[in-house]
Amino acid sequence: MKKITLTALKESRFLRYSVFGVVALFFILLTILVTRKKPVAEKPDTVPAVIIEKPVIGTLLESVTISGYVEASAMIPVVPFVSGTIKEYPARAGDFVEKDTLLAKIDDAPFRQQMLQAQAAYFAAQSTFDRINNLYKSGATTQQNYDSAKAQADASKAQYDLAKLQVDYTEVRAPVDGTILIADQAVGSIGNQSQPVAVLADLTNQVVRLKVPEKYFDLFTLERDKLTVKVTRPAEKNMYDDAVTSATIENIAPYVSPESKNFIVVCHLDEPGDRFRPGMFVKVQVAYKTYENVPLISLQARKMDGSFYVYDEETSTVKYVEPQTLPIDEKYFIVPEEYRDSYIVMDGQNFVFDGQKVRIFEDVLKEAKGE
């Protein structure tokens, strides 16, 4: 049996470690070769495209817009003073009628019968009074008999007059000139004081009652003479233009409702024409400050925080303009005077940063078309 020396043992261990190290190094190199990604060619920087536009010189109105509904200044329900079956009903919604025009005719037969009875009673009482009066003048009867006969005759006359009036009331007539807004009765239905036979309104005298938030109370009360009012009825797209008219503030409520925190402002439509009718939805713009001959640009140019970008033609870069308190209306805002003649970025402002080089969208389109 061979004797293993210390030196041989060390050499054997070294050999095993060396082999292990070579194998491990091989696997490491193999892993690197397998997992290493091929170098990707770096893409050229893509320059963002933007749409630019110059401000236009115009007039801007600072205003508050409040929604409301058109109302007739006075809506008059016409009710019969007597009850009965409707025999005639010429009233038609939409018709313009003059004062005293017949709207409905109620069956007058019962009332004529009552009138004839009252007439007979009156004639009898009057005849008795005439006879007692002659006797009283000749001293053949007492004062008491005279007074009693006179009272009876007067009471009968009042009953007769009331009966005749009720016959007249069977014809329901328009109390004023106006347009019939509602006429929902019919021949054969029962006319009574609980339901009008028609509702009239003067359509040349229309108003909008606005419920204005409390925060505008000082503006409306202190600056009333400076306010201008425009009423717009939005029309269906691609059919008609919006109906627009000016209005005059007719009344401002002197108090604020504690429940709604609103106060009422009544605006009278100056020229309602044929396109405004009671019940229609409208937007009322109350302008309180006017800026004339100022540079305007569409609100589309502003970012959510109110900032915008200016385009520099020389460097083809954009400049960031910090948010400012600028007068605005529903469509435009006033550009600071130093940018009056500058190009403003209208689209693409959310994908650029201050000082970034950009391209004009129109130029990109031309390049794509090979122009």
User: Which amino acid belongs to residue 31?
Assistant: T
Predicted local confidence at residue 13, as pLDDT: 60
In what helix (H) or strand (E) does residue 18 lie, and over which residues does it extend?
A: helix 6-35
- Written as six digits, the tokens of 85 are 């079956």
Predicted local confidence at residue 162, as pLDDT: 94
Residue 103's closest CA among 194, 165, 186? 186
Distance of CA 56 to the CA centre of its chain: 29
Radius of gyration of the chain (CA): 46
As a whole number of Å, the end-to-end CA separation of the chain is 97
What number does CATH give the domain 56-71+202-369? 2.40.30.170
Percent helix / strand / coil, the chain, rounded to 5: 30, 35, 35
All structural domains of the chain with their residue ranges: 56-71+202-369, 82-198
Predicted local confidence at residue 28, as pLDDT: 66
Spatial separation of the C-alpha atoms in residues 305 and 192, rounded to whole Å: 63
8 Å CB contact between 93 and 181: yes
Spatial separation of the C-alpha atoms in residues 369 and 371, rounded to whole Å: 6
Distance of CA 90 to the CA centre of its chain: 35
3-class DSSP assignment, residue 351:
helix
Predicted local confidence at residue 121, as pLDDT: 94
Spatial separation of the C-alpha atoms in residues 362 and 248, rounded to whole Å: 47
Spatial separation of the C-alpha atoms in residues 163 and 117, rounded to whole Å: 9
| pLDDT per residue as tens digits for the range 25-46 | 666 665 555 444 444 443 435 7
DSSP letter for each residue of 95-131: -EE-TT-EEEEE--HHHHHHHHHHHHHHHHHHHHHHH
Predicted local confidence at residue 7, as pLDDT: 56
8 Å CB contact between 59 and 291: yes
Residue 115 CA: distances (Å) to CA of 119, 149, 170, 191, 348: 6, 21, 13, 20, 86
In what helix (H) or strand (E) does residue 312 lie, and over which residues does it extend?
A: strand 308-312
Predicted local confidence at residue 238, as pLDDT: 72
Whether domain 82-198 has CATH 1.10.1660.10: the reply is no
In tens digits, what is the pLDDT along the chain, a chain of 371 residues?
Answer: 444 454 554 556 656 656 566 656 666 665 555 444 444 443 435 789 999 999 999 999 899 999 999 999 888 999 999 999 999 999 999 999 999 999 999 999 999 999 999 999 999 999 999 999 999 888 888 999 999 999 999 999 999 999 999 999 999 999 999 999 999 999 999 999 889 999 999 898 999 999 999 999 999 999 999 999 999 999 877 778 899 999 999 999 999 999 999 999 999 999 998 899 999 999 999 999 999 999 999 999 999 888 999 999 999 999 999 988 888 888 899 999 999 999 999 998 888 899 999 999 888 777 777 66
Q: Is 316 left (phi over 0), alpha (psi -120 to 50) or beta?
A: left
8 Å CB contact between 339 and 307: no
Residue 280 CA: distances (Å) to CA of 116, 152, 232, 243, 265: 50, 58, 10, 11, 17
Residue 67 CA: distances (Å) to CA of 6, 177, 208, 271, 329: 105, 30, 9, 19, 16
| pLDDT per residue as tens digits for the range 72-85 | 988 899 999 999 99
Q: Model-level pTM?
A: 0.64
Predicted local confidence at residue 29, as pLDDT: 62
8 Å CB contact between 313 and 50: no
Torsion 57-59-63-68 (CA) sign: negative
